[in-house]
Structure 1
Amino acid sequence: MKISNEWLQSWVDHGLTPEALGHRLTMAGLELDAITPVAAEFSGVVVGRVQRVQAHPDADKLRVCEVDDGSGTLQQVVCGAPNVHEGMYAPLARVGAVLPDNFQIKKAKLRGVESFGMLCSAKELGLAESSDGLLGLPHDSPPGMDVRTLLGLDDVVLEIDLTPNRADCLSISGVAREVATLVERPLIPLAITPVPPTITETFPITLEAPQDCPRYAGRVIRGVNPQAPTPLWMRERLRRCGIRSLGPLVDVTNYVMLELGQPMHAFDLAHLHEGIVVRRARVGERLQLLAGQEIELSEADLLIADGRGPLALAGIMGGDMSGVDETTRDVFLESAHFSPQAIAGRARSHGLHTDASHRFERGVDPQLPVQALERATALLLEIVGGQAGPVHDVIAPQGIAQPAAIALRPARVEQLLGAQIPSAQMQRLLQALGCRLESAQTATWQVWPPSFRFDLAIEEDLIEEVARVYGYDQLPRQMPPLQASIRAQDERQVSIHAIRRSLSARGYREAITYSFVDPAIEALLAPEQSPLSLVNPISSEMAAMRTTLWPGLIKAAQYNLNRQQERIRLFETGLSFVPTPQGLQQQAQLAVLVCGPVLPEQWGSAARPVDFFDLKGDLQAVLALAGLEQRVVYQAQTHPALHPGQSARLLLDEQPIGCLGALHPQVQAQLDLPGAVYVFEIALDRLRRSTQVRYQEQSRFPLIRRDLALLVDQTLSADTVINAVRTFAPKEVKDIVLFDVYTGKGLPDACKSLALGLILQDLSRTLTDTEVDAIMAQITQQLAQHLGIRLRG
């Protein structure tokens, strides 16, 4: 956003140098990118009035002019500009003047006629890239007055880089409101008074898409003079803000947009039929834009149309057929409020980016349309004349979001910022920003944000406003105090750093990927989920919120594999976003991806590709940090993205906490991944809530091992049997090892043999054979009773 300092000062007398003002804005979150002079350096250029124009005796394209420069003596100047005429006021560079690029004006002879100076164009003064003739000055300009003073060319332009949430500062009035708050100076608001209609004519307006366009105001103005020149002061302000003058009918709408932040459009009334209709585009419709580009419309496009078809791409650009030009005599002036969701991304989908779409995508105050319409009407009548009809304002109240009260606790402000800001000062800051306060004498305030602040929704937003206006540099530099109970609780949990260190020690590298993913990949990996789609995505490949961390890891793996990196070990910790009936649920997850050889190429061991059990071993190492390696149950279960024979669900206390396995061959083929790829994902918060492993003294008494050969039903998993043994065994059983699985001859039908090794040990004494036999008998009895398992003969 480019801001003229001179224009800004007409709204608030801030009393700061441009550099100091830029610093204050930057510290308040409106980052200053550059300070640029509005004109190049020149001197000795004054207002000249052309008194007489005669033909040059020896050159058809030159004129000999007598110019009043305020000195009392007319100056003879030879000029070749096609628009020079008697009575014209134009810049005169006297002899001795210095123009941009150090061009000095000297007394000269042009084709035999002496010239004492030069009449200048805007280009010659560094005010435009090109010019068709002399720069015309206002007829009330005093001859001899310095042109820099007349035009305020000692002004500077501040270029401010706004974050997307600060659409309210995409105008002079918005920045002025911020500056007035920061420097505690009064804001000088623009006095906008309704223009009384002199004709009764209105033009019909229908809102067929009230959610997309809940407010549309229009006004008929007849008898305008489009040949009237745009005043120099307006052209200059537009130029300084980066907008080219295109004639008074367009210049006024652009000027009001810069001044108030409300985009507007002027239609040629002669080209409108039946009435204005705001609706969605229909399949097959096309529109020729003002820029000359013809676009094919889709049902996602919002249109301004009439009885014959599309007139404009709503909130983006007008159509060529209905645009104003030098023949326009009657105008329909529109000023509307469009929902940001209806405009977001539509300009980009057609390869466009306009000042209007830039504002509407971020949000424009729904209270502005009529104010802007009245302001533009007054300027048009002053510049091009005409007669204005009444304002026709059509509103669909259900489509306009009403600001809701936000609860703000002053104590919470102090807790988050670590600064004691007086309540009266906080109230003053919030009110200066346009907020309305109630219950300000209680522990919790009710704050209503203004209609132009779409970004204020929760308590933390208000606290941020207090902090930035109070001054980030004024906040204490020490850390705010932490409650001991919180710190103690964190120490009991498994830290994310410990998990990261464990995986790094096993050869993994951490990846940090976007929360926005390709909907196509998301559908492959989690087809049972319906991810949240973004209204205004960065690109089509980042159009949905991830419900699993796998898409990001797979994209990272593809990137590395395409660059001949065969051995991939990646992990990521982050949030997934799962839609539920209660709303969007954010879940902290740990995800891992492996593919390629188990070990880097070496002479000490044979090369082999990674498999399911390698991945399971890495998962077991992570679970061991939380003491869960024996509590987590692996349950065979199919997953739509995983191989049906190499996948498992993870259960903790009979509740699912994740899954692991190989990618399904079909998924792998669609993602163009060479070789087998293995992944797992586990709920990070559930993992961290577990108690950390603590030191336990080793027994100094000997351990005893007893083996069991069990006949087990084929449908029972080894995990089920081991967990059952662990449940039935007394505390003396320290470990259980599965060392053999046999199926084949010599076994009853539908049975398998599992060989378990039980390690028994006591901390205080040596176990006797009688005690060990009793323990083994107890275990085998419980297995037979509950699972029908018997010893193998």
Structure 2
Amino acid sequence: MPRIVMDWLADHVELPADLTAERLAADLVRVGLEEEAIHGAAVTGPLVVGRVLELTPEPQKNGKTINWCQVDVGEHNAEGGSRGIVCGAHNFGAGDLVVVALPGAVLPGGFAIASRKTYGHVSDGMICSVRELGIGDDHDGIMVLTRHGFAADDLTPGQDAVALLGLGDEVLEINVTPDRGYAFSYRGVAREYAHSTGAAFTDRGLPEALPTPPPAATPDGFVVEVDDAAPIDGQVGCDRFVTRVVRGIDPSAPTPGWMRRRLVGSGMRSISLAVDVTNYVMLDLGQPLHAYDLEKVAAPIVVRRAAPGERLTTLDGVERALDAEDLLITDSPSGARGSRVLGLAGVMGGASSEVSATTTDVLVEAAHFDPVSVARTARRHKLPSEAAKRFERGVDPRLPAVAAQRVVDLLVELGGGKADPAVGDLDTTTPPAAVAFDVTLAARLAGVPYTREQVVSTLEQIGCTVAEPVDGSTDVLVTPPTWRPDLTEPAALVEEVVRIQGYDQVPSVLPAAPGGRGLTAEQRTRRSVARALAEAGLVEVLSYPFVGTADLDALGLPADDERRTALRLLNPLADDRPLLRTHLLVTLLETARRNVARGLDDFGVFELGLVTRPTPGAPAAPQLPVGVRPSDADLEVLARAVPHQPRHVAGVFVGRAAPAGWWGAGRRADWADAVEAAQLVARRVGVRLTPAADATTMPWHPGRCASLALADGTVVGHAGELHPTVVERLGLPARASAFELDLSAMVDAASDEPVAATPISAFPAAKEDFAFVVDADVPAADVHAAIVAGAGELLEEAHLFDVFTGEQVGEGKKSLAYSLRLRAADRTLTADEVRAVREGVVAAAAERVGAVLRG
């Protein structure tokens, strides 16, 4: 976000003498530039200019040589006439003017200065380097003021260095929305301040505002060609490219202190004069620039897209593989046109042509690049450079010549260079298109009775040209200024009217809540399910729906499992998780793993969320235009391209379900808890789930997993113990269990009929217990179904209360004991009726599952 140094802002707009950062923030908020932070003074306490009187080298036993210095700090001198300071740097000498932090000063990073004994002396302060002052990265030695653009005649020992270096200034950091890229400059912020307060604004981005107006292009200007055979969205990557040459620059010329102070206050480090000047003009006007070492560049410069296999080492020292959509700046050192890559257009230059400590001749580039091209390149290479931030938001295409001239003037003034008369200006820009605008639209959309005069004057105030249409309609034709590429439709113009006239004028009207609306049946069911699981002791969590193939591999999903058919994101948040989940457990188990890793051993968690199930062969989603309603055919294709997104519910049980204590060892959660939680969900939805043994579905245990089916046989989920290999891979405790259900399918299967209350019978119930011996592989659910079928209408409830295996029932057998409650609604059951039910249960169990009544 841009940082605003107030005395720099004053170059463009008239500011009150007593303006504070807090008040400036309030003024800018009124026109939509929000305050991000106010940064206080970088240095507090006594920081002064000092003159080195004496410097005595003293070798130490550790091989290091320190300097014992006597420094004149004016009125801050000790009683002996100067201050003694120990310094380990060697790039200064007697007579040099330096910056001295006296005891009580606090430097950036909270570094407090005090008198202390070191190397056999009491050091009464510190002589500072550029890095220690927080105004640059140079830490090779002491900051000698005369070498950094300060005249010796203007410096006095004891002078306040905080004010001299601007280290006591408050700096306002603001937040700029993506549609207002012009506010990434002092020129743009000053314009907005003028809109807010009515202060006098001077547009220094106009040719007439320069001391030397930019000259027209000359035939001998540095040759530039644009060869964009693959424009993005029909827009050529570069429509203006200005080149200027400055020769004979003193490579040792320092960046003046006032410029360094402004750059540092604005959040940029000082590098060298040529680079600092381009950065300074970029921050001032909003036009990114680049300086090349002229000796390292060969004409012609060609702006083109990258070819397959091309690579570039950028200024940050990283070698990058280029993409076919990347727009490049290239030159022709071998004679082959555009054969060498110099940089990523609008993002970052390359190392091969950068300005160095020996550069005397500089080629200045000021260009206008397509915002979409720059934005995609910056994101593709993860290079959010200051230039890219501006280009992707839109830069004024009229600025390149003005900004280049400003750079030339500063390099001539500060670096002793000479401007070359050759000027290059490749210009294919087009003026902004006029927008037909109904002046009553602002009042209708905002609810404020703006007059025609208010609307027109506001649009003219922000730089638009307003003309009456020639066809006699009531609309006006509004031509936006070149620095506002976002003003392309009437709604955007309305926003500007509301913003400049004041958001506080827009009334706050609470819309009337329509009656008769509430939660849908599905919404009520979802809330009921979540409440039931929470009441059962599980904790609801939310997980990100992004997964990778490694996550699916950890669950042991087979290669042909339909859950591996996932939708891949074009721009994922993380490269290792580019897929949208197809089931909930893949992300819920990651949540469980993270909790176990953080020391939780006993818990249950659940989640309700959407999963994405793409249909193989579905059409690709079309790229629909913005600003107009898509056609019905486009909407139909879009609807068919949207993948199925059912809502699932899943839960995981880890460790103990009942805690251990003096009362006993507690109880470990197992597969039965997962099955019961799934049945709890089914009861809340209002459907019946039939469990069946499932030995093939991962990530569950092959012998302790149940598939869960609706009445029509549709399997809607699974529940049981997790597979041991999955538990091991995820680092979960042994015997962890889980369930997952397709909640959307269950809701669809639930009856829409209201639930009727069952009358309570006033007649007594009869109870019967059965213990059946069956084969060990017979599911208990099958035995239960046989009992229900055999008992008939008189059965009120049947539940399994014991499972026994042992030599008493025989090898390969098990005993299942059930308790039945029988009742009639209109009579007391007779002994014959109960006996008939008992015989029917025994017969049905024998016929269906081969059960034998245990003696």
Find the partner of 2:225 among 204, 215, 219. 204
Instruction: Please report the RMSD computed on the Cα atoms of aligned residues, expressed in angstroms.
Output: 6.7
Give the number of equivalent residue pairs. Answer: 677
Change over 3 Å in CA distance of 1:760–1:127 after alignment to 2: closer
Equivalences for residues 243-392 of structure 1 within 5 A: 243-247=268-272, 249-259=274-284, 261-273=286-298, 275-276=301-302, 278-280=304-306, 285=311, 287=313, 289-291=314-316, 293=317, 295=319, 297=321, 302=326, 304-306=329-331, 307-312=338-343, 316-325=347-356, 327-329=359-361, 331=363, 333=365, 335=367, 336-337=369-370, 338-344=373-379, 346-347=381-382, 354-356=385-387, 359=389, 364-366=392-394, 368=395, 370-383=397-410, 384=412, 385-392=419-426
Give the drift of 1:379: 1.2
Residue 721 (structure 2) pairs with residue 701 (structure 1): no
Give the drift of 1:322: 0.6
Change over 3 Å in CA distance of 1:451–1:203 after alignment to 2: closer
Give the drift of 1:558: 2.3
Where does structure 2 lack aligned partners over 5 or more consecutive residues?
A: 54-90, 107-127, 137-142, 155-159, 208-213, 332-337, 413-418, 467-472, 475-479, 558-562, 619-640, 806-813
**Distance in 1 between the 2:7 and 2:526 partners?**
56
What residue in structure 1 maps to residue 604 of structure 2?
Answer: 569
Change over 3 Å in CA distance of 1:584–1:297 after alignment to 2: same
**Distance in 1 between the 2:849 and 2:533 partners?**
41
What residue in structure 1 maps to residue 267 of structure 2?
Answer: 242
What residue in structure 2 maps to residue 159 of structure 1?
Answer: 173
Equivalences for residues 532-551 of structure 1 within 5 A: 532-533=568-569, 535=571, 537=573, 540=575, 544-551=579-586
Give the drift of 1:616: 0.7
- Deviation string, structure 1 residues 125-147 (Cα, Å, up to 9, x no partner): x89573441775799x9xxxx99
2:397 aligned counterpart, secondary structure: helix
Change over 3 Å in CA distance of 1:44–1:475 after alignment to 2: farther
**Distance in 2 between the 1:600 and 1:468 partners?**
64
**Distance in 1 between the 2:378 and 2:567 partners?**
22
Where does structure 1 lack aligned partners over 5 or more consecutive residues?
A: 46-55, 57-79, 92-97, 103-120, 397-402, 414-419, 443-447, 744-751
Amino acid at match of 2:532: S
Residue 664 (structure 2) pairs with residue 596 (structure 1): no
Change over 3 Å in CA distance of 1:638–1:298 after alignment to 2: farther
Find the partner of 2:249 among 212, 226, 242. 226
**Distance in 1 between the 2:819 and 2:697 partners?**
33
What residue in structure 2 maps to residue 5 of structure 1?
Answer: 6
**Distance in 1 between the 2:464 and 2:818 partners?**
72
1:327 aligned counterpart, secondary structure: coil
Give the drift of 1:157: 2.0
Give the drift of 1:618: 1.7
Amino acid at match of 2:398: Q
What residue in structure 2 maps to residue 619 of structure 1?
Answer: 678
**Distance in 1 between the 2:288 and 2:363 partners?**
16
* Contact map agreement 2:171 2:265 (CA 8 A) in 1: yes
Give the drift of 1:339: 4.1
Which range moved further: 201-210 or 317-326? 201-210
Equivalences for residues 595-674 of structure 1 within 5 A: 595-602=654-661, 604=663, 609-628=668-687, 630=688, 636=694, 638-645=696-703, 646-648=705-707, 651=710, 657-674=716-733
Identity between Structure 1 and Structure 2 (%): 28
Change over 3 Å in CA distance of 1:698–1:321 after alignment to 2: same
- TM-score normalised per structure 2: 0.59
* Contact map agreement 2:148 2:257 (CA 8 A) in 1: no
Change over 3 Å in CA distance of 1:7–1:206 after alignment to 2: same
- Deviation string, structure 1 residues 337-367 (Cα, Å, up to 9, x no partner): 434333226347xxxx74345x27xx7134x
What residue in structure 2 maps to residue 494 of structure 1?
Answer: 525
- Deviation string, structure 1 residues 174-196 (Cα, Å, up to 9, x no partner): 54566566668898655445852
1:493 aligned counterpart, secondary structure: helix
Change over 3 Å in CA distance of 1:518–1:472 after alignment to 2: farther
What residue in structure 2 maps to residue 172 of structure 1?
Answer: 186
**Distance in 2 between the 1:723 and 1:468 partners?**
74
Equivalences for residues 184-199 of structure 1 within 5 A: 191-193=205-207, 196-199=216-219
Give the drift of 1:617: 0.6
* Contact map agreement 1:589 1:683 (CA 8 A) in 2: yes
What residue in structure 2 maps to residue 682 of structure 1?
Answer: 741
1:386 aligned counterpart, secondary structure: strand
What residue in structure 2 maps to residue 445 of structure 1?
Answer: none
Find the partner of 2:593 among 547, 552, 558. 558
What residue in structure 2 maps to residue 215 of structure 1?
Answer: 237
What residue in structure 2 maps to residue 21 of structure 1?
Answer: 24
* Contact map agreement 2:366 2:403 (CA 8 A) in 1: no
Give the drift of 1:241: 0.9
Amino acid at match of 2:539: R
Change over 3 Å in CA distance of 1:410–1:286 after alignment to 2: closer
What residue in structure 2 maps to residue 70 of structure 1?
Answer: none
Give the drift of 1:619: 2.0
- Deviation string, structure 1 residues 241-284 (Cα, Å, up to 9, x no partner): 13244455423432343245554323334423464355458669
Change over 3 Å in CA distance of 1:365–1:503 after alignment to 2: same
Which range moved further: 180-189 or 334-343? 180-189
2:566 aligned counterpart, secondary structure: coil
- Deviation string, structure 1 residues 298-336 (Cα, Å, up to 9, x no partner): 769956544554433555532222113453435151533
Amino acid at match of 2:225: P
* Contact map agreement 2:293 2:359 (CA 8 A) in 1: no
* Contact map agreement 1:709 1:792 (CA 8 A) in 2: no
Amino acid at match of 2:216: P
* Contact map agreement 1:702 1:766 (CA 8 A) in 2: yes
Give the drift of 1:614: 1.8
* Contact map agreement 1:649 1:660 (CA 8 A) in 2: yes
